[in-house]
Amino acid sequence: MTIVTADRYNAFHEVWDEISHAEGTLAGMTIAIKDNIVTKTGTTTCGSRMLEGYKSPFDATVVSRLQNAGATLVGKTNCDEFAMGSSTEHCAWGPVRNPWDETRVPGGSSGGSAVAVAARLCDCALGSDTGGSIRQPAAFCGVVGYKPTYGTVSRYGLVAFASSLDQIGTFSTTVEDAARVTQVIGGYDELDSTSNPEPLPNVTSELRTPINNLRIGVPSQYLGENNEPAVTEAVLQAIETYKELGATIVDVELPLTDVGISTYYVLAPAEASSNLARYDGIRYGHRTSEPCTDLFELYAKNRAEGFGEEVKRRIMLGTYVLSSGYYDAYYNNALRVRRLICQEYQQAFHKCDVILGPTAPTAAFKIGEKTDPVSMYLNDVYTANTNIAGICGISIPCGFSEEHGVKLPVGLHLQSAWHDDATLLRAAQMFETATPFHLETPEQSS
Ligand code: GLN
């Protein structure tokens, strides 16, 4: 059991010190919880002033399942406000720092969870992934980040950002831990209307059996000019490793890769604008101390003071694309593209079991480096479509970039078809067993 000691990276918003003495399959495992997943212990703030000091009256399903399995929950990790971001700079409690280089971001929005595991402050952490928020920070921090198929893990108690895309998943140092924890938190939950009613397959039992004749699809769209050379290099090396393990590489095409971001930035803000309407400062959220003459002014002041800039931008964007006159042009069109993206993946998965590429086009960037929102959004170019299609994806360590004068981790992104998580995890396990990258820690490199 690893226990949080010092947190110089601002990974945690709260550290708890209760140790679980319960028995169960996760007894002895320390697990941190992203601050947008509700817990009766402590507070749940979503990295926002809007929810400063908020105490949930109930535990999320994933939280009670972890406790019942004997895990020790160590605290709440910092995230971008309401999980909107790719750097964990947009957190009301300050930016989170990357342990490989403290002048750099850990990725986001689940940056605190990624750092907690990368710095070995705990064994595992939960995050949420709406467009890449588990996989991209896992890549930037050199750990395993797994987003299960939509509906595998209950969203009950996950503070909603974009409900048709949100999914809870894990950060860990090994694929095996990702599978073990998912076995506990996954499976049907009647409290989530989109929870998959099928029994959860036993992903852990066959994890260590390599897949014979694994077919890996490598879309040309994933290895283009956008990537920094060290990222493409590490991915090409990973392809060689898989070939040595007996895998067959097949060409697949995902031409809609580059429209993923524009589709995501219609769908996700649309859902967010609706989900975040509840923070009016009356039922939930920050209440202004300024005098107000009417109810509208009270709402306006509460929301103006409580929300940060990025969240306001998303609410305005979402309200715009849903407004009459623009609904068809933006929201309905994005839904049509969503269907095409799903079909494109389905066709690709006729030819292969796993799609492989980089998790993000670059290694971790500097804190403060990305000042315009679009350059930040482009970080999710390889991860957003996974959520749009609802399929599963994982980022695993596959090497390092030395391009920036420091050693920075590079993540390998694997995706599998809807509910084919067992194949995804087995394919990831094959790579991990054959390579040393997951064993390196930031302490060794500093
Ligand atoms: N970076 C994306 C965004 O800002 C994805 C966030 C997420 O997955 N929660 O919306």
Give yes or no for residue 130 CB within 6 A of ligand 1: yes
Based on the structure, what is the number of domains in the chain?
A: 1
- Host H or E run for residue 118: helix 111-118
Q: Catalytic: 301?
A: no
For residue 167, the CA-to-ligand 1 centroid distance in Å is 11
Q: Catalytic: 312?
A: no
* Dihedral sign from CA coordinates of 358, 141, 162, 391: positive
Rounded Cα gap, residues 423 and 354, in angstroms: 8
199 found inside a domain:
yes
For residue 249, the CA-to-ligand 1 centroid distance in Å is 30
What pLDDT score was predicted for residue 18? Answer: 76
40 found inside a domain:
yes
What pLDDT score was predicted for residue 25? Answer: 96
- Host H or E run for residue 159: none
Q: Which two tokens stand for residue 358?
A: 């980089």
* pTM (2 d.p.): 0.97
Tokens 């928020």 appear where? 133
For residue 299, the CA-to-ligand 1 centroid distance in Å is 26
* Residue 131: partners with Cβ closer than 8 Å, 6 or more residues away: 165, 264, 268, 380, 383, 384, 387
What pLDDT score was predicted for residue 21? Answer: 84
Rounded Cα gap, residues 278 and 157, in angstroms: 15
3-state secondary structure of 15: strand
Instruction: Tell me which residue has its CA closest to atom 5 in ligand 1.
Output: 131
Which ligand 1 atom is the nearest neighbour of the CA of 161?
9
Q: Give the CA angle between residues 146, 389, 174 to the nearest 5°.
A: 10
Of 369, 344, 440, nearest in space to 107 by CA:
369
Give yes or no for residue 267 CB within 6 A of ligand 1: no
What pLDDT score was predicted for residue 4? Answer: 64
280 found inside a domain:
no
393 found inside a domain:
yes
Give yes or no for residue 86 CB within 6 A of ligand 1: yes
Give yes or no for residue 390 CB within 6 A of ligand 1: no
Q: Catalytic: 109?
A: yes
pLDDT tens, N- to C-terminus, the chain (446 residues): 666 666 899 999 999 987 778 899 999 999 999 999 999 999 999 999 999 999 999 999 999 999 999 999 999 999 999 999 999 999 999 999 999 999 999 999 999 999 999 999 999 999 999 999 999 999 999 999 999 999 999 999 999 999 999 999 999 999 999 999 999 999 999 999 999 999 998 989 889 999 999 999 999 999 999 999 999 999 999 999 999 999 999 999 999 999 999 999 999 999 999 999 999 999 889 999 999 999 999 999 999 999 999 999 999 999 999 999 999 999 999 999 999 999 999 999 999 999 999 999 999 999 999 999 999 999 999 999 999 999 999 999 999 999 999 999 999 999 999 999 999 999 999 999 999 999 999 987 65
Do residues 215 and 353 touch, judged by C-beta distance below 8 A? yes
For residue 268, the CA-to-ligand 1 centroid distance in Å is 9
117 found inside a domain:
yes
Do residues 66 and 31 touch, judged by C-beta distance below 8 A? yes
Domain membership of residue 235 as a residue range: 2-258+337-445
399 found inside a domain:
yes
38 found inside a domain:
yes
Give yes or no for residue 98 CB within 6 A of ligand 1: no
115 found inside a domain:
yes
Give yes or no for residue 381 CB within 6 A of ligand 1: no
Catalytic residue among 20, 86, 133, 416: 133
Which ligand 1 atom is the nearest neighbour of the CA of 129?
8
Residue 117 CB-density burial (10 A; 0-12 exposed, 13-18 middle, 19+ buried): buried
Concatenating the DSSP letter of every residue in 191-244 gives TSTTS--SPPP-TTTTTTSPPTT-EEE--GGGGSTTS-HHHHHHHHHHHHHHHH
Neighbours of 385 (CB within 10 A): 28
Look up the CATH number of the domain holding residue 106: 3.90.1300.10
